[in-house]
Amino acid sequence: MRRSWVYMMTNQHHNVLYVGVTSNIEQRVLDHKGRRYPHAFTAQYNCHKLVWFEEFGEIVEAMAQEKRMKRWRRAWKEELIGTMNPEWKDLSEGWYDPGALG
């Protein structure tokens, strides 16, 4: 069993939401924060803040959930974020050495 996650990132003003899936959440969030892929959606819209995530046991389950969530209305995503993170704090705060962020 390989763990995987569905997650949501946002920008400073919370007016953009990105839904993604990964098998290594720490590395993937670091990629977003470091703009590893400068032409990607998250880099273009400054989505550097992890506001929600859910762990799955199998990547196929996580991928199916990501696909469903991408079709959701924004209000549903906001409600989901509010249940885990009502203040929309960066949930990855403290995960990294500040030097790793560039």
Cβ neighbourhood burial of 40 (10 Å; 0-12, 13-18, 19+): middle
Q: Which of 20-24, 31-35, 82-86 is least confident?
A: 31-35
Amino acid identity of residue 10, one-letter, is: T
Instruction: Give the pLDDT confidence score for residue 2 in this predicted structure.
Output: 83
**Tell me: the pLDDT tens digits for 23-33?**
999 999 999 99
pLDDT at 25: 97
pLDDT digits (tens, 9 = 90+) for 58-78: 999 999 999 999 999 999 999
Q: In the chain, at which residue ranges do the beta strands (DSSP E only) sit? A: 4-10, 17-22, 49-56
Give the SS3 label for residue 41.
helix
Please give the model's pTM, rounded to 2 decimal places: 0.92
User: Angle at the Cα of 89 (from 9 to 30), degrees rounded to 5?
Assistant: 45
Q: Which two tokens stand for residue 93?
A: 């705060």
pLDDT at 52: 98
